[in-house]
Structure 1
Amino acid sequence: MALAQGDLEEIGRYVREHIPEWMGEEGRVSLIREFDLRERIVRVEEELKHQREPMEQGFALMEKRFEQVEKHFEPMDKRFEQTDKHFESMDRRFETLNQRMDHFMVWSFGLTISATGILLAAIKYLH
């Protein structure tokens, strides 16, 4: 169904007459929405401020607690250092003992070879 030229002109005139009215209502609605949004933003920001203070206090308390725990572990660190020193001295003793054992093994091996040689020579001599 096609519209006649006169009908189109009448529709155009009607739209032009009512656009300012429609836009005004639309503008008011958008202003009200914008005001509501801004009010909500302000309320959220205020609530965040109120939450920030307890959170900062909680973090400060946690920091103090961590410091107390660290102080509790300091004596244990000293004990571990003493234990490390003890193990180092034991390592030195074992190294010394190993060196002595190595010398003993060399001397023992040498004496065994020498004794075997002497015994073989004596056996040869006695036959």
Structure 2
Amino acid sequence: MQEFSEEQLKQIILSLLPEVLSQYLQEKEKELKAISLLERLIRVEEELKALREEMKVRFEANDKRFESLLREMNARFEAVLAEQRALREEMNARFEAIDNRFEALQREMNARFEAMDKRFEAMDKRFEALERRFNFMQWLIVVGFSFLAILITLFGFLKG
């Protein structure tokens, strides 16, 4: 084997050292990049986990909010329905009162018309009685004048 002097060894080491160092640095760079990528991945996963948790909290808050809104809307709809039922019952009561009033007016009008019919019947009877009296008086006058004419004619024959 060859023996190298210290100076030669230094020279050989110095000539090989940059190459070895550059290879070593390249390998370490790859490892450092891999470590940096792993750290980034870990940070991204932690961030995603934190985002998922935050979204879960927000969704739960929104669910609670929507549930309360739904309960409030149901309460409002029930109140509106109750108000409509009350109005409908009030309207039905008013219509019943109007119907009762109308029926009472109809009964009153029928009673008045019946009373008027009775009056007209009584008036018809009075007119018939008057007509009979006029007919009787007419005949009485005719018979009376006829009797007087006959008497005058008889006295005229007898006197003359």
Per the normalisation by structure 2, the TM-score is 0.39
Greater Rg, structure 1 or structure 2? Answer: 2
